[in-house]
Amino acid sequence: MRIPDSLVEKLLAKGGSVTKEQIAALREQEISNKKPLQDLAITSKLISEEDLTKLYAEEIEVPYVELNAKEIKNDVLKQLPERIARQYNTVVFDVADKDTKLVAMEDPDDIQALNFLHKQLGNKIKVHITTSSLLQAALDQYRGNISSELTKVIADEEVPDESDEVDESDLA
């Protein structure tokens, strides 16, 4: 999600924990570091990614959702193919009554993504906003627990019997 700098300033002021002097210092840093104001505010710990996302959600009137990747059911997640979910930074995290799909996005203002989601999932979707880190954890659920799958595959492989000795003539 990329929030315009002027809106970041407004949100920081609205949050109440950042002074005008701190915002001015961030503006100077932005010019010298060539980084977006929102990134600087988060890395300098003036506001957390979650708090900034919540303020932004309130401003644009889109509900915020704190995704718990482990609680997303696999069949719900797979309603949107992984390639598309990663391309548009979005996941289906639940299904509400009457087949309304609850979708979490990092950028709910992405018109192209919204249009595609309507084509892919139908018109019964409800968009939520979430933080980038929570969204990435949810996207990682597509891969599942790879290490446990590898362990299972390795355990299923037949372990060669060490009593079978091979002599030099067999190798030749």
Read off the pLDDT of residues 102-133 as tens digits, 9 standing for 90 and up: 999 988 888 999 999 998 888 889 999 999 88
CA 120, CA 20: separation in Å to the nearest integer?
Answer: 45
pLDDT, residue 70, reads 86
Cα dihedral: 65, 92, 135, 89 (round 10): -120
| Average pLDDT rounded to a whole number, residues 27-41 | 83
User: Is residue 6 classed exposed, middle or buried when 0-12, 13-18 and 19+ CB atoms within 10 A define those classes?
Assistant: exposed
Q: Which residue has the higher pLDDT, 55 or 1?
A: 55
State percent of the chain over pLDDT 70: 83
